[in-house]
Amino acid sequence: MDRTSIRVITILLVAVTVYMYPATSAVQASMIDRIKDIYDAPVKVEELQEKYEETRGLILEQQELLLNQAKDLAEARKQAEQYAAKQEELMRENEKYREQNAELAERNATLANRNDSLAAELDAMREEREKRESLMRRLIVTGVTAAILVLGYFASVRIWRIMVWRRQHLQEKGKSAP
């Protein structure tokens, strides 16, 4: 046997011994742990029971919270349904108002057109009245001017006759006076 073989065998023996030793102590340790567990069982049962009661209390609290949340959710759904109903009612009213606005806009357009046509007629009537008043003024001015001219003609003819009569009368007095 050479040296390398001896080394390999030594390493294998050491490895097996190390591997086996913890296994034997683990078996002994697990046995001792089981005995301790049996001895500590009442304490562990009490701990488990306390944890059970604690967990049960938490579960009951959670159930209570869930019930309250369910009630709140039901109330929220009810309010949401009421809100949706109110929203729908407001939408219907809004649509009705839109229709009324459309009708009123159409009526306003009709009235605006009628107003424009009446304004045009009124302007035409005013223009016609102004033309008639202008014609009447011209006729009155022309009539007054004609009357003044006629009166002026008669007055001038009268004055001319009086002057001619005075001249003739003065000439006749001058011929008869010397």
d(CA 139, CA 124): 22
What does the pLDDT look like over 62-94, one tens digit per residue? 999 999 999 999 999 999 999 999 999 999 999
The conformation of residue 40, written as its DSSP 8-state character, comes to: T
State the Cα torsion 82-87-88-91 to the nearest 10°: 160
* Domain boundaries defined on the chain: 40-176
Average pLDDT, the chain: 85
- Which pLDDT score, from 0 to 100, does residue 9 have? 77
Sorted by sequence, the CB contacts under 8 Å of residue 31 that are 6+ apart come out as none
pTM of the full predicted structure? Answer: 0.39
d(CA 163, CA 95): 98
The conformation of residue 81, written as its DSSP 8-state character, comes to: H
- Which pLDDT score, from 0 to 100, does residue 34 have? 64
What does the pLDDT look like over 119-143, one tens digit per residue? 999 999 999 999 999 999 999 999 9
pLDDT band at 37 (very low <50, low <70, confident <90, very high): low
d(CA 21, CA 26): 9
Helix axes 3-39, 41-176, angle to 10 degrees: 80
pLDDT at 23 over 80: no
d(CA 21, CA 107): 109
- Which pLDDT score, from 0 to 100, does residue 169 have? 85
